[in-house]
Structures are given as structure tokens and as C-alpha cells.
Amino acid sequence: MTQNKVLIYDTTLRDGSQAEGVSFTVAAKLRVAQKLDQFGIDYVEGGWPGSNPRDMAFFEQAGDLNLSHAKIASFGSTRRASTPVDEDAQVKLLLEASTPVVTIFGKTWLLHVTDVLRTTPEENLAMIEDTVRYLKEQGKEVVYDAEHFYDGYLDNPDYALSTLEAAEKGGADFLTLCETNGGKLVRPFTEITSTVVERFPRSKIGVHCHNDAGVGVALSLTGVETGAVMVQGTMNGYGERNGNANLTSIIPNLEIKMGIETNCRKHLSKLRDLSLFVDDATNLRSDIRAPYVGTASFAHKGGVHADAASKSTRSYEHIDPAIVGNRTRVLVSDMSGRSSIMMKAKEMGMKVDGRSPEMKSFLEELKQMEFKGYEYESADASFDLLLRRFLRGENSAFEVLGYHVGVGRGKGSERTSSEATVKLRIQDETRHTVAEGNGPVSALDHALRKALEGDFPSIREVRLVDFKVRILESNLGSDAITRVHVESTDGERTWGTVGVSDNVITASWEALVDSVSYKILLAPESSK
């Protein structure tokens, strides 16, 4: 049984924040909530009122967001055992959050009822029904999350189903089946979900899956096929342990592969942007291999693949990447053939004769560069500059005449300082500058910019966003080759450059020079 429309419940700001390395500021939570609303997400779970100051501050400010579609949900548990619901402090905090939706979880697994709550099975059922009914009487839309439902069902199916009956009697708007431990596979999950859908025809069923067995997305889609009308998950799969079911995969799979409508349909082309926004809000690096939204999702490296993709993108791409806001990319490496270079040149706006002798020579040069340790998959800017120099004879806007960097510490000082000198030629004029930095690479960067800014003011916009060092052939110890990858941005575009040497400073300098050279290429300016 499949549905015509499925509601998307996002718990990135609550369940997702339990992931290792994920932490949202209040301001970030508010911005993410707005972005989720703009994308068409139906429910945004903001946190657990009273659990920490940030969640409390979020709910205090969330009412001023003026969301156009999404409903903010607060999250909590059923009342305590042997405590009247209207006297339960945690339930009071849920109401004080002033959200239109309240999501509460209850115990389904008898193991938890007796060993964790240390109450009777009958009292647990009363806790569920009382809390749902009380919240409904206060005018709230109530989502009931049946925690550990699948484990509870396998342990005692009758009792697990009776907990759902208690929530239904209380008036719950949704009964959500939670695969909390994340270890179930598709077949038992499907069988149990089907039983619930048949047993509760008057209730709207949701599914909440985790990814501990690597099938969180598959379970969520199966839940929908079985009859669930709500899917809970997180953006980019954030969540405790191995994460929650990933909405950036679930949503396009529902829409594109299964033909099931969500309220995100008209915003699907913004999916990659949303994914990157959420990563940025947590200061995490994006997963380049994430389905649909990853940088590598539609990237082609092998010559045969790239050649086929150049003739028909459908041959190696399961969808048009533009549907989700992504794009086709060609990776250049020692596996590349003529077609790869042609596609890459076209991607960069360059016209190249694929049959020219220069092209053959360039391919040989590229393979030699890769053999030396250069790697251009994440260094598009360095590759662009190489291609222009080799095939077009285009030289850099400046010539490096020399550079020097020193590191030292003054007498009586505990601070180590670095100083760099850079000597360049721009047309017929020489620039010789000196600058300090908090390290040798920083000092070189400052000196290089200082030498160029007068002639090329656009480089003031450039900032380094990532700096990676990799030791090649580490068995050589301190004589090993070093590869440095630098990622730069001007606020609109981001590009990568690479340098290779047996000296880490030399490799860093090479990557820095390519970075500013590429910016000058993007925004050519007349020399003053």
C-alpha cells in the first residue's frame, strides 16, 4: 500500500544534534528551521524543552520566525509513573514551549517498562494514554513516537500493539514506529509495519529509522510502501551512533524513483544547497559521496565512463543532476583519456581540438604530473591553469622571481614568529615585499597578497577555507614527497589548487600561487 503524499518530519535539530561532532548554536538552529521551512519540510522538531539552555532559547525565539509552511514541534516523554499528568514538570515544559505540535515518546518494549521505568505494564499504558489525551485537550497536534517499537514487538507483539492502542485512545494524530536501535533489516521491518498498518486503519502511521545496519533509508522507503504517511529523519543523516535515516536521500527517492509526492517537490532543485547549508551550520565537512547531493555523486573519472557520459549522460547517471541542484563533474587523473580532457575543458568554457598533437602531449604530461604526486580531482583551478599553459601558451599574470621564509623566536619571547619575503615581476615592474604571519605558510600568503593587491585588488576577496597536507611514500620518512591541497573562495566561487615537493613549504607556496593566479584569471584587471 503506497500513499499519494507523504509528510516529512525533520529531527535534525533534536535527534541530529546527538551526533558526534554536531553542535548547533541557537542562531544556527533558527536559521536551519527557516531553511527547512523554505524547502517544504512539514514538521521541524526543535528540541527537548528544559533539557538544555539552547533548546529553551530556541523555543523562546521560534515563535518569531513567521514560517510559511513548517510546524515547529517540541519533543518530550510521557508523564512519570504515579504522577498526575497535569502535575508532571516535564509535560508542563512541553506546553510552555508554545509549539503547535508536541511529539512524545513512550515505552513499547517490556524490558524498558520493567527495568528502566521500573513500573508495571498497566501503568505504562496509562502514562501513554493520559499524556496524549492531556496534550490534545490543550489544543496540541500530537505525534506519538513508539520508542524501540520493533524490538518491543519481537519481544512481545501483543504488548507492543497495546501501547499503540493507548496512544490511539488518547487521540494521537500520528503513531510513529521507531526503529531505535537501527539494527533491523528490510524483511522483518516490512512484516511488522504491515501488521501495524492493518491493525490501525484509522490512524496515520509514521516511521523513524536509524542507520546502524546501513539501511535506514531503505527501511524508511519500505515503510512508505507499506502504508506509512510520515517519514522522520535528519538532513545529511545526522544522528547518534551511525546516524538517522537521511532525508537528502529519502526525499528524492520518494519523488523521483517512487513517484510519491511530498511538499518538497517544487523545491527539489534546492536540495544540494540545503544539504550544504546544514553542514555549514554545524561547521562540518560535507560528505562528497552522499547520494544525490555529494560533490562526487555525478563525477566521472575513468576514461571509458567519461567518454560514454559525454555522449549520453544517462549512460552513467541515474538522474539529471540538476533536478537536485547538483551537476556533472569530470575528474582528471592518470586514468583520464581524451574524452575526459575534452569534457573538462568544455566544463571550464574552453574549446580544445581533441585530435591536435598538443592534446596527445598534454595527456602524457598529465600522466607524468600524476606520477610525481600531483592529484587534480580536487584541484580544478590548478588543472585549469595547467591546461591553459600547455595548450594555449597562456602564462600567469605575474612571474615569481624568488621567495624566502624564516621562522624564529626572539630572546625572552615565548612566541614563534614567521617572516617571508617575496619577489615578483608584473609586466616590466618588480615587486619585493615582506610580511609576517603566525606560521611560514601564513607569512608567505600575506607577502604574496601584499605584492599583488595594488595591481590586482580582486585578490583581497580570496580567503583560504581548507589546507590539507598529505605525505606520499611515508616509508621515506623526512625525505618523503609532500602534497598540499588548498581550497579557496571569494565568497561566490570555491576552487582547489595543489602543490607537490619534497619540501612542505615549497609545496604550499605552489598551491598558494595557483590560488591567487586563478582568482586573477576569473577577474582579470589592468595592471596599474
Quick one: average pLDDT of 39-61?
93
Rounded to 10 degrees, what is the CA torsion of 65, 70, 72, 75? -150
Encode pLDDT of 373-418 as tens digits: 888 777 888 988 888 887 777 788 899 999 999 988 777 777 788 9
Q: What is the pLDDT of residue 165?
A: 98
Q: How confident is the model at residue 498 (pLDDT cuts 50, 70, 90)?
A: very high
Q: What is the pLDDT of residue 474?
A: 58
How is domain 7-282 classified at the architecture level of CATH? Alpha-Beta Barrel (3.20)
Encode pLDDT of 271-298 as tens digits: 999 998 999 888 888 898 999 999 888 8
CATH dotted code for 399-522: 3.30.160.270
Encode pLDDT of 117-167 as tens digits: 899 999 999 999 999 999 999 999 999 999 999 999 999 999 999 999 999
Residue 249 has pLDDT above 80, yes or no: yes
Quick one: average pLDDT of 98-103?
97
Encode pLDDT of 64-84 as tens digits: 999 999 999 999 999 999 999
Here the cell at position 179 is 526503529
Give the residue, 308 or 430, on which the prediction is more confident: 430
Residue 212 has pLDDT above 80, yes or no: yes
69 burial via Cβ count (<10 Å: 0-12, 13-18, 19+)? middle
Q: State the SS3 of 62-100.
A: HCCCCCCCCEEEEEEECCCCCCCHHHCHHHHHHHHCCCC
Give the residue, 379 or 198, on which the prediction is more confident: 198
Give the residue, 341 or 488, on which the prediction is more confident: 488
Q: How confident is the model at residue 355 (pLDDT cuts 50, 70, 90)?
A: confident
The whole-chain average pLDDT of the chain stands at 89
Quick one: average pLDDT of 88-107?
96
Q: What is the pLDDT of residue 524?
A: 64
Integer angstrom CA distances of residue 515 from 270, 355, 385, 448, 461: 29, 30, 10, 11, 12
**10 Å Cβ neighbour count for 319?**
16
Closest CA to 16 of 40, 51, 50, 44: 44
Residue at 156: amino acid letter: N
Q: What is the pLDDT of residue 2?
A: 46
Q: How confident is the model at residue 338 (pLDDT cuts 50, 70, 90)?
A: low
Q: Percent of the chain at pLDDT above 90?
A: 66
Encode pLDDT of 452-494 as tens digits: 999 999 999 998 888 889 888 756 665 678 999 999 988 888 8
**10 Å Cβ neighbour count for 189?**
22
Q: How confident is the model at residue 316 (pLDDT cuts 50, 70, 90)?
A: confident
For CATH 3.30.160.270, the residue range(s) in the chain are 399-522
Residue 184 has pLDDT above 80, yes or no: yes
Lowest mean pLDDT among 177-181, 191-195, 337-341: 337-341
Residue 307 has pLDDT above 60, yes or no: no
For CATH 3.20.20.70, the residue range(s) in the chain are 7-282
Integer angstrom CA distances of residue 346 from 163, 271, 307: 60, 26, 13
In whole angstroms, give the CA distance from residue 411 to residue 406.
16
